Every structure is written in structure tokens, then in C-alpha cells.
Homo-oligomer: A and B are copies of this chain.
Amino acid sequence: MSASGSPRPHTTWLKSLSPRWPSASPNLSMISASSSFELLGRNELLQASESSGIDASVPYPEGTTIDWHREEAAEREWKRTLHSQRGLRGALAPIADSSKMWLVIVLTGVGIGVAGAWLDVLVRWLGDLREGRCAYGFFYNQVACCSGLDPGEVCTEWKTWSEYLHVSSILGQSLLQAWVYIALAVIFAGSAAVLVITYAPYAFHTGIPEIKAILRGYVFDAFLSPWTLFIKALGLALAVASGLSLGKEGPLVHVSCCMAFLLSRIFKVKQNESQKRKLLAAAAAAGVSVAFGSPLGGVLFGLEELDTFAFSNENDVMWRGFVTSVIAAVTLQYMDPFGTSKLVLFEVSGTVSGTWRAFELIPWMLLAVVGGVVGSFLIRLNAAAAVYRRNSSIYDWPVLEVVSFAALTGAICYLVVFLRAQTSELVANLFQECDVTKGDYHGLCNPTALWHNVFLLILTAVVKVGLTAWTFGMMIPAGIFLPTIAIGACFGRAVGLLTQGLQRAYPSAVIFSSCPPDATIRCISPGFYAVVGAAAMLGGVTRMTVSLVVIMFELTGALSHVLPIMISVVVSKWVADALGRDGIYTVWIAMRRYPWLPPDEYRDQGQTAAQIVKPASDIVVLRDGSPPTLGELLAFVRRYHFHGFPVVAGDEDVLVGFVVREKLRIYLERLVTEDVDGALTEAQRWTFIKAAAAADNELVNLAPLLDEAVLQLRKDVPLQLVVNMFQKMNLRHVLFSQEGKLTGLVTKTDIVWLLTAHSPHTGQLAGDTIDQ
């Protein structure tokens, strides 16, 4: 395990990054584990190791994959220990244990709800600051500054910077406004980048690929540290306010997971790796719930995208996710950051009660195809940008990159009217139907400016594709959901405007015959087209289906139009899948080469497991009694840095079990170095076989360390079955045997390699992560 593959050394800003990146430092991380052993005599030590579940106390080095079954066994052991306590303690201890877990779940929900609300407030204020300030108080945003006015009254309290500084010349005004707009963008984005790089390098990017890998067993605790939590939340607010083309949705999931991890440490919830992952799954659901105001979408996102079904019996995990999601959403609604007392963020008004006509399926299909094609293109562009950055000198100057790109983004966005406001404001207006009483967003509702609007919308979408492809991967917290929604909404609104224009120009055409004859009644709702376009684009980029549709509902409230949204998601996913198999998160996982198994069905072409099995001759095997003394055994264990060793015995090398290296090493070190009565020396002989130990009193009995219950397969099993077992059972490795003899070994890494070898992206950024 080495941080290899990095073509050039990190310089300047990245210097602080290197030591924080996960590396195998077992000696360090073992200290706490080994110090939990009491100083006992030889037999007492054996006793203690047998009863206290030595399995549980061996932590995993960062960058490895947990052994799910070892963790489940430890959890069982722990539950049993709790129950077996005498009297009232035996009854209360399990309740206290599960109450602590629920307390963490509830507090995570509340915490992420509060954090999400404050983030919204902070972003709103920072974003507005780029345009001007409130005359009577610096800390008011535009809406708060202008609240309490009667309808129609003009807000004079909110002043643009040129008004506030009394600049009168028009040129001066323009220059000042543009300068403040861009300068603040650069300052916000730059601060975010400096914070991330200096204090928490893992706080960059969306975090969802890593969460997916962690939930499936990847060990990456540094990714969930309190510093990451704090820097990601703060950096996210700065990054969003800077006007870069990014969203807060994905990073909020990361923040939520960090919060659950921190809380579980504060309340000393038993740190079992499998239980921890179940808790993180619930936290991730809460993150989505707050990000989109979509409690149900959060649960489904957890199920579909994070694939939480795979690692546990679903009811349990779904249930906790459900509760956390609800609590988070209630908290958000109670905090009410937007003062609307509604969870629906981008309400689609006007269309909800309307019906849709069959001919509208034609433009919607068009949008779905556009969503699939552009979504797929965006993924490729983003991957290409990431690879280019990685291999060019830009990689060594991350803050400079962020600062320059923020300036560029600011300059471009200041010129295009739809890009100047915050993305969420743009989306909200694109989803809104035209309504004379509500005013016109930058002339969008002006029917005479049809072509001008269509051009502007498509220009906005195209610019945003380019900006997003580069932004998503820079050294700042950045989500891809909102930019994707914005791109799709622009295309959708453009198509909607065109369809509406066509219908208005030719109201008597056959195709429009289902429209009401009264021209004053709206037949086509361009706002809803924007929703369809956004759904299709999200489908193309993320390849989600059910959870995406639910999120779109909860985001817009357009429940009556469930069918068009579903159809467009179906078609867009179809098109995008034909153009490239993987969604954006899967591509990033592949590029970083996380040990994550795609859940897709794998079909072999008649191969058997023999195809991928590492033959027994290539495996470092521990022969019972073969390095004859404890001292030599310790040397052996120290020499080989594998997760563990298969143990064989007898003349015929019959497989007797599997021993985990760390467990053995710690145990041996205690035995050899801290032996109290001096009876044990390095020259002592040993055995893993109970019967042999019983027969020969001279042998040190290592049998309690041996895992005899190993899963064994034969080499003739179909490859598909092996892959399926790894996917469904979350295995770490499987031993192969034939008639009792060890014939080989397959690890999760082999399976990951098998399933991802086809992808052109595999390992393109692998230098950033560690090799397995």
C-alpha cells in the first residue's frame, strides 16, 4: 500500500495535503488497540482474547476495505455481551446502547437541518453582497432588507454599490458594479480554496463518490473528520456565493455524514465499522432531504444511488433513513430560511392544476434526448478536464486555478443576464409560469422577444456546460446537481418557448387542435418544460431514476405531471446509457479507483472463477508449525503486509482457516515482548490447531485467533456467481479449495478490477488515492 502513481510531487499549496492523505500507518493506529490489553499471564491473556472478542479491537488502516463479516460477528458478540450482563444491567444495557444510536440519528437530523438553513442564509447574504448592501444594516440580505413593504412599493433601502458610494457616471457605475461583482467572487472562491487546501483537503468536490465507496466498506475516516465537516460547510457557503457553477446539494450529503460521525464519537456509540456505515447511510438520506427539501427523495436517493440496500437487510436501514430525513426536513421547515414556510423550493405555479396534451410528448421527447446527449457529453467533458488538470502544471497551483476560474466565471456571468444571479434564483424563475401580476424575469415573458430569449437561454446552457465541466473537480466544495438542473431548465424553457410560439403562430394547426380555442387560456406552459428539461438532464448526468423523479416532485410540487417527468427520465437514461455506461459519480469512483463494486448485473461468457483466482502457489500461506518458533512467526507476520493469511496444516496442506495479520501481529507482540513471568520466549513453538495444542503442552495455542468459518468455493463455480456473492454479501475475500486443499484466493480488489477494467476512466486519477 503506497501512495504511488502520483506523477509529480505536490508543491506549495498542496504540501499540507500529502501527509493528510490516507496512508497505511498500522503501527500508529494500533497503539490504542494494543493498549486495551491488560497485563495478564499467558493463560489469562488467552482467556481474555477469547472472551472479549479480539476481532472488534483491531482497527483497519485507512485505505483498506473492511471485512463485513468480521464486523458483523463482532457486533453479534457485543450484543451478546450486553445481554448477558446480570440483573438490571443486562436488561438496561442493550436499551441504553440502542438509545444512544437513536439519539445520534435524531441529533444528526436536527443538526443537518439547522446547518442547511444557516447555509442558505449565509449564501443568500454573501451572494447579495456582490450586488450591493442594505442601507440600514450590513448583515441583511436583499429580501430581509426590503421586507415589510406593501405590494408595489419600491425598495429604497437596498442599495447597489454604486448607489451606496454615490457614483453618478454611468460608466463609473458599470465598472464599479462589475469590479465588486468579480472581486468578491475571487475573494470568496479563493478563501474557500485556501481553507480547503490548508485545513481539510478532503472537503473539496462533491463527496458522493467517496460516500458511496465508504458505505460499501472503504475505510476512509479522515474523510469524515470534524475539520472536514467545518471546512466543507464554510467553504461551501463561500463557493456557492462566489457564483461559480456549482451547487450545495452533494456536499451537504458529505457534511451530514461528517456530522453523524462526529456525533457518534461524542456519544461514544460503539465504533463498529458495519454499524457506522448504517448510521452514515441514514445521515446521507438526511443530507439530501435538507438539500432539496425532499424527505422522501432523501430516502430513495440512499436506496438507489448510495445502494444502501446492498449491505444490509433493507428495512432496518430504510427505516433509520426515513426517520432522519423527516427530522431533518421538519427542522429545516421550522428554521424556515426563506420565510416561505414551505419545503417546496422551486414551486411550479399555474401548471399544477393544468392538464397536458398528447402532442406535448413530442417536445418532451426532444428534451429527453437532449438531456441524455448533453448529460453524457458533460460527463465526458468533466472527466477529460479532470484528467487534463491532473497531468498539467495546473495541478500544482490549485488556489491560483480556483481564483482565475472564479474571475473568468464572474466576468462571463456578469455579461449574460441569466447567469448573473445565483443559479437557484435562475432555476426558480425558469420553473415559474409567466404571470402578469408577478412581474417579468429579465423579459422572459415578453412574447415579442421570443428569439432573443431562446438564444439567451441556449447560450446560458452552453456556457454553463463548459463552466460546470471544469468547476466540478477544482479544490473547492462543489456539487453538480444544481448546475445540471439549471442547464436542463434552460434547454427546457427554450423548447417550451418555441412550442408556445409555434402554437400562438398557428393556433389552428391540426397538431394543436387539443388546445382550448380561447386564446387567452394558456395551452402550453413553458415553466413545466423547464422542469422536464431539468429532470432529463439530471437523468443523463446521474442516471438515477426513481429517486430523481421523487426529488423533482418534492422540488417543484408538480405531482399531477408525474407521467411526463417519468417518461423523460426513462428516455434520457436510455439515450445516455447508449452513449456511455456510467453516471458521473461512477466515473469519478473509477477515476479515483476506489474499491467500489458496481451493482450492475454481471454476466460471464462461460468463464468460471478459475479465470480470476490467484493460484495457491502465488499466495503467502501460513503452514502450521512451519516457521517453528514464535519469534520467527512474528518476523514472518511483520514481513508480509497482507490483510491475512490462509492457514494450512498436515502433509497435504489441508486448509484449516484464515488468520488476520493485524490480529496475529498484535497478539504475538504482546506475547513475546511483554511476557510477565518469562515463561514465553521467542523460541517457543506454536500451533493453530486445538487438538495439537491439547496433545502437546509445549505448544502455544493460537487457535482462538484462527477464523475457521471461512467461505470456501471451488474453482469451477461460474464467475457470475462469485461476482454476485461479492456484490450481495459484501465479502472481502473468498478462499477456493478442492477436496479440502487450498487452491486459490479472490479478493474484492480482483472483482472491482474485473468489473471496471472496461471503463476508459479507470485509475485516471488514481494517484490521488492509494493503491489497494
Residues of chain B within 8 A (CB-CB) of A79 are: 603
When distances are taken between beta carbons in the complex, the residues of chain B under 8 Å from A601 are: 312-313, 315-316
CB closest residue in chain B, given A340: B355
Question: Is A426 in contact with chain B by the CB < 8 A criterion?
Answer: no
- Binary contact readout A269-307 vs B (1 if CB under 8 angstroms, 0 otherwise): 000000000000000000000000001100110011000
How close is A764's CB to chain B, nearest CB, in angstroms? 24
Q: What's the minimum C-beta distance from A551 to chain B, rounded to whole angstroms?
A: 11
B563 touches A559 (CB 8 A): no
Cβ proximity bits A52-94 to B, threshold 8 Å, 1 near / 0 not: 0000000000000000010011001101100000000000000
Q: How many copies of this chain does one complex carry?
A: 2
Given A313-B599, A709-B608, A727-B313, verify A553-B563 contact (CB < 8 Å).
Answer: no
CB-defined interface of A673-706 with B at 8 Å, one 1/0 digit per residue?
A: 0000000000000000000000000000000000
Contact assessment for B712 and A712 in the assembled complex, using a CB-CB cutoff below 8 Å: yes
Query: Which residues on the B side are within 8 Å of A709 (C-beta)?
Result: 608, 713-714, 716-718, 721
Does A330 reach chain B (CB closer than 8 Å)?
yes
How many angstroms from the CA of A708 to the CA of B608 in the assembled complex?
A: 11
**Which residues of A in the span 714-743 have a Cβ within 8 Å of any Cβ on B?**
714, 716-718, 720-721, 724-725, 727-729, 737-741
Categorize the interface residue count of chain A: 35 or more
Tell me if A366 is interfacial: C-beta within 8 Å of chain B: no
Closest to A556 in B: B559
Is A570 engaged at the interface, CB distance under 8 Å to the other chain? yes
How far, in angstroms, from A498 to B600 measured CA to CA in the complex?
53
Cβ of A584 under 8 Å from chain B: no
Proximity bits, A654-687, B CB within 8 Å = 1, else 0:
1100000000000000000000000000000000
Q: Which residues of B contact A562 (CB under 8 A)?
A: 295-296, 329, 343, 554
Are B309 and A606 interface neighbours, CB within 8 A?
no
- Asked whether B740 lies within 8 Å of A563 as measured between CB atoms, the reply is no
Given contacts A546-B300, A553-B559, A563-B330, contact A599 B315 (CB under 8 A): yes
Q: Does A605 lie at the interface of the complex (its beta carbon under 8 Å from any beta carbon of B)?
A: yes
Chain A, 749-767, contact with B by CB distance < 8 Å: what is the 0/1 string?
A: 0000000000000000000
Binds B, one of A32-40, A148-156, A237-245, A317-325: A317-325
Question: Which residue of chain B has the shortest Cβ distance to A553 in the bound complex?
Answer: B559
Whether A549 contacts B296 by the Cβ 8 Å rule is yes
Please give the distance in Å from A740's CB to the nearest CB on chain B.
3
- Contact of A604 with B by CB under 8 A: yes
A545 proximal to B (CB < 8 A): yes
Q: Is the CB of A604 within 8 A of B76?
A: yes
Please tell me if A567 contacts chain B, counting CB pairs below 8 Å.
yes
A333 in contact with B714 (CB, 8 Å): no
B714 touches A713 (CB 8 A): no
Among candidates B314, B329, B560, residue contacting A309 with C-beta atoms closer than 8 Å: B314
* Of the residues B560, B728, B741, contact of A728 by C-beta under 8 Å: B728
* CA A21 to CA B242, docked complex, whole Å: 70
A76 adjacent to B720 (CB under 8 Å) = yes
A384 within 8 A of B: no
A160→B310 CA distance, assembly (Å):
59
Contact with B along A614-628 (1 / 0, CB 8 A): 000000000000000
A717 to B322, CA, bound (A): 33
Write out the residue numbers on chain B whose beta carbons fall within 8 Å of the beta carbon of A724.
729
Determine if A550 is an interface residue (Cβ-Cβ < 8 Å): yes
The reply to whether A566 and B740 form a contact with Cβ atoms under 8 Å apart is no
* A1 touches B (CB below 8 Å): no
Closest approach, in angstroms, between the C-beta of A594 and any C-beta of chain B?
Answer: 19
Tell me, yes or no, whether A710 is within 8 Å of chain B by CB.
Answer: yes
Question: Known contacts A709-B716, A729-B724: does B739 contact A566 (CB below 8 Å)?
Answer: no
- The reply to whether B76 and A718 form a contact with Cβ atoms under 8 Å apart is yes
A324-343, CB under 8 A of B: which get 1 and which 0? Answer: 01100110010000000111
Point out the residues of chain B lying under 8 angstroms from A309, CB to CB.
309, 314
Q: Mark A559-581, 1 if CB is under 8 A from B, else 0.
A: 11011001100100000000000
Q: Is A80 touching B563 in the complex (CB atoms < 8 A)? A: no
Contact of A603 among B76, B323, B333, B728 (CB under 8 A): B76
Q: Which residues of B contact A744 (CB under 8 A)?
A: none
A508, chain B: closest CB distance, angstroms:
23
Quick check: is A477 within 8 A (CB to CB) of the other chain?
Answer: no
Tell me how far the C-beta of A364 lies from the nearest C-beta in chain B, rounded to whole angstroms.
Answer: 12
A708–B318 Cα gap in the complex (Å)?
Answer: 38
**A714 and B706 alpha carbons, distance in the complex (Å):** 14
- The docked-state distance in angstroms from the alpha carbon of A718 to that of B79 is 14
Contact with B along A520-563 (1 / 0, CB 8 A): 00000000000000000000000001100110011001011011
Cα–Cα, bound, A606→B655 (Å):
24
Residues of A117-148 whose CB lies within 8 A of B: none
The answer to whether the Cβ of A634 comes within 8 Å of any Cβ in the partner chain is no
Say whether B603 contacts A73, CB under 8 Å. no
Q: Does A48 contact B (CB under 8 A)?
A: no
What residues of B have a CB within 8 angstroms of the CB of A560 in the complex?
342-344, 557
> Is there contact, CB below 8 Å, between B319 and A545?
yes
- In the docked arrangement, what's the CA distance between A343 and B329, Å? 27
CA distance A748 to B45 in the complex (A): 41
Chain B residues near A511: list those with CB within 8 A: none
Cα A547 to Cα B321 with chains together (Å): 14
- Closest residue on chain B to residue A567 by CB atoms: B326
Closest to A83 in B: B605
A711 is an interface residue with CB less than 8 A from chain B: yes
**Which residues of A367-414 are within 8 A (CB) of B?**
none
Q: For the complex, give the distance between the alpha carbons of A198 and B206 in Å.
A: 62
A515 to chain B, nearest CB (A): 14
**B546 with A322: CB separation less than 8 A:** yes
17 more contacts with CB within 8 A, not counting A342-B560, A343-B563, A557-B559, are A72-B718, A72-B720, A76-B604, A295-B562, A295-B566, A303-B303, A303-B546, A316-B601, A318-B545, A330-B563, A330-B567, A333-B563, A550-B550, A557-B560, A709-B713, A709-B721, A711-B713
6 nearest interchain CB pairs?
A740-B740, A739-B740, A709-B717, A313-B601, A728-B728, A709-B716
